[in-house]
Structure 1
Amino acid sequence: MKFSFRQLEVFLAAAHFQNITRAADSLAMSQSAASSALKELESQFDIQLFDRVGKRLQLNELGRLYRPKVEALLAQAGELEQAFSKHTEVGALKVGATLTIGNYLAVGVMAQYMNTPTHPKVALEVANTRTIAQRVKDFELDIGLIEGELQSSELEVIPWRGDELVVFCSPDHPFAQKGRLSDADLRSATWVMREQGSGTRQTFERGMHGLLPDLDILLELEHTEAIKRAVEANLGIGCLSRVCLADAFRRGSLVPLKVPEERQFDRTFYFILHKQKYRSAGIDRWIDLCEQLQDPPLPEERGLLYDRTSS
């Protein structure tokens, strides 16, 4: 074999950091050793994988072509090494999740995944859909869990579970005593919302078609807990995933509201994987645990939120 795994590790680190010094530091190598390994890899096959601009290394077309193949090969080698050394097929995992999933679902799955005799580590990154998708594309995350719809030729998008958004207010808000809200009520309300570009906002805007130009949006916040606190303080009404709101509804600090029947806020959570990413036993185990996850119960369940039989 003309190349070594170390050379491939240097190639991937250089692709990630775009700098040979930082790549060497990440691999606990000297700068000269890392530079030599990369030059040897290229010279052995008479290829160039990077465009060099000063100290910056930018993957060229050939480098971008080979990067996923190298990622897959090293992932398989890493899994084999773990199996040899730890006698287990489930190893460390890098997971990305959007805010709702990361804050309310993924932590429980992570605890189950790590609760094995070998205690494999899980690194969890919480960000918006766009960021998680890019990190999976760049092979910086093994798997992503997202709540927004996504189109990408590089990613495999796998439906995971259903979800729905719920409109809610504080117990002291005038809407708390109403039966079902009308479109006129929705127009008259002051709203506290997730930011543009989030999966939650995407679903909300789809469900509120025809009303969006008339809505009074007071605040746009990136974090669900901040939105819940603002609504509890009676700054307006909100709309978030039922996953985020179950505890607050049980405590009575927030109240679910019925919306017009045509206002549908159903959506799907997804797994995303790079199409050329090696699907390890750890990834399969993570997906299995996610699929076993149960919905958090709501008071009086769906009848309290979306009474489809009433007018």
Structure 2
Amino acid sequence: MNPLPGTQPTLRQLELFVAATQHGSFAAAADAMYVTPNAVSSAVTELETVFNTQLFIRRRAKGLTTTTTGRDLVEHARQLLQQAHELTLAIGNRDDVPRGSVKVGCYATLAATIIPELWSQTAQRLPLVQLDIEEGAVEDLSKKLLHGHLDMMISYQVGLPAGVLSQELFQASPHVSLPESHPLATRASVSLRSLEHDPLILLDLPPAGDNTLRLMHEQGLHPNVIHRSTSYETVRSMVARGFGYSLFFQETLTELSYEGLRVVDRQINPSLATEPVVVSHNPAVRLTHRATAVEELIISMFESS
């Protein structure tokens, strides 16, 4: 896919082409880029002329379907646009002060206790850096990390794909959450065997659900799962209402659910294996100066804890 002699694609053409692939139509891409649909269509047509190939299959009722050549171009275009962005920042970064946007993924259940502090520390120590935070499941975030759509991610180590480079931040210990009315809520610690036949409200945001069940099966237990939820706070609220118990790795500083009902957290006896919380990046993608600064900041936040 070589350009025709004497012609070269422009960054703007590539930018509008990438927007069209992301949004699936010229109209939607135009709205996102604050231009007219004709401007997006013209940019794509010009690229097709430059490369002498078809980038989209256009269907009036179904929008755009990217061709094989188009999919190949979009990856190269994204890299080139990112490099152009980095060049702009580098030219204005003569004092070596980190500046610009850093994309950080965070496993959703960890975000509430990590991201606010990271945001505060970044504002204080890296004032010219803008954080772009994305929360989600480890599987989804990992794919974006491997494809270069995230600079780094914070998650439990379990469930991470092979090949990512991780730095441990701290060890998380699993604990049991019980409703205040539960007969075992007055004890300092609780055995999982004593809860085996109780209803379990399972946090099932991958990989949490599978990991919890694996830990219990390793103890020879067969939990009675009555409900699964991807929401940490929904699970806590269900527990507070007395519908069952749950297992969590992350801790909160409040005993109350969203509804104002008490949730009692108790240590597990005998204790289960801890799980590392890590910050990871893709070693195949070189970290920018500002991303390196944010990663170092994240690590420093937990060095004294």
TM-score range, shorter chain: 0.7 to 0.9
Cα pair distance change 1:274/1:51, threshold 3 Å: farther
Q: Does 1:260 align with 2:270?
A: yes
1:167–1:238 contact (8 Å) kept in structure 2: yes
Cα pair distance change 1:274/1:72, threshold 3 Å: farther
In structure 2, how many angstroms separate the alpha carbons of the residues matched to 1:37 and 1:175?
Answer: 67
Question: Which moves more between the two structures, 50-59 or 199-208?
Answer: 50-59
Residue identity opposite 1:234 in structure 2: G
In structure 1, how many angstroms separate the alpha carbons of the residues matched to 2:303 and 2:186?
Answer: 27
2:176–2:190 contact (8 Å) kept in structure 1: no
Can you give the 5+ residue segments of structure 1 that lack an aligned partner in the other structure?
Answer: 298-311
Q: Which structure 2 residues correspond to residues 1-311 of structure 1 after superposition, within 5 A?
A: 2-54=8-60, 56-85=63-92, 88-115=97-124, 118-136=127-145, 140-147=149-156, 148-151=158-161, 156=164, 158-161=166-169, 162-178=171-187, 181-195=190-204, 197-209=205-217, 214-242=222-250, 244-248=251-255, 254-261=264-271, 263-273=272-282, 275=284, 277=285, 279-294=287-302
Instruction: Kindly state the Cα deviation for residue 6 of structure 1 after the two structures are TM-superposed.
Output: 0.7
1:166–1:265 contact (8 Å) kept in structure 2: no
**Which of the pair is proportionally richer in helix?**
1
Residue identity opposite 2:243 in structure 1: L
Cα pair distance change 1:260/1:295, threshold 3 Å: farther
SS in 1 for 2:252: helix
Residue identity opposite 1:127 in structure 2: G
Question: Which moves more between the two structures, 63-72 or 138-147?
Answer: 138-147
2:98–2:126 contact (8 Å) kept in structure 1: no
In structure 1, how many angstroms separate the alpha carbons of the residues matched to 2:249 and 2:269?
Answer: 15
Can you give the 5+ residue segments of structure 2 that lack an aligned partner in the other structure?
Answer: 1-6, 257-261
Identity across matched positions, percent: 20
Residues 108-136 of structure 1: CA distance to partner in whole angstroms, max 9, x if unpaired?
11222233575433232322223333444
Q: TM-score, normalised by structure 1?
A: 0.77
Residue identity opposite 2:212 in structure 1: F
Instruction: Kindly state the Cα deviation for residue 85 of structure 1 after the two structures are TM-superposed.
Output: 4.8
Instruction: Kindly state the Cα deviation for residue 149 of structure 1 after the two structures are TM-superposed.
Output: 0.5
Instruction: Kindly state the Cα deviation for residue 222 of structure 1 after the two structures are TM-superposed.
Output: 2.2
In structure 1, how many angstroms separate the alpha carbons of the residues matched to 2:91 and 2:57?
Answer: 38
RMSD between aligned alpha carbons?
A: 3.3
Q: TM-score, normalised by structure 2?
A: 0.78
Instruction: Kindly state the Cα deviation for residue 105 of structure 1 after the two structures are TM-superposed.
Output: 0.7
2:152–2:279 contact (8 Å) kept in structure 1: no
SS in 2 for 1:35: helix
Instruction: Kindly state the Cα deviation for residue 290 of structure 1 after the two structures are TM-superposed.
Output: 1.5
1:98–1:146 contact (8 Å) kept in structure 2: yes
Residues 190-222 of structure 1: CA distance to partner in whole angstroms, max 9, x if unpaired?
222212x52222321221115788322233222
Cα pair distance change 1:74/1:89, threshold 3 Å: farther
In structure 1, how many angstroms separate the alpha carbons of the residues matched to 2:248 and 2:63?
Answer: 43
1:72–1:278 contact (8 Å) kept in structure 2: no
Residues 51-100 of structure 1: CA distance to partner in whole angstroms, max 9, x if unpaired?
43445223333333343332222222213323445765421233332212
1:76–1:280 contact (8 Å) kept in structure 2: no
Number of residue pairs matched by the alignment? 289
2:179–2:241 contact (8 Å) kept in structure 1: yes
SS in 2 for 1:293: helix
In structure 2, how many angstroms separate the alpha carbons of the residues matched to 1:206 and 1:90?
Answer: 43
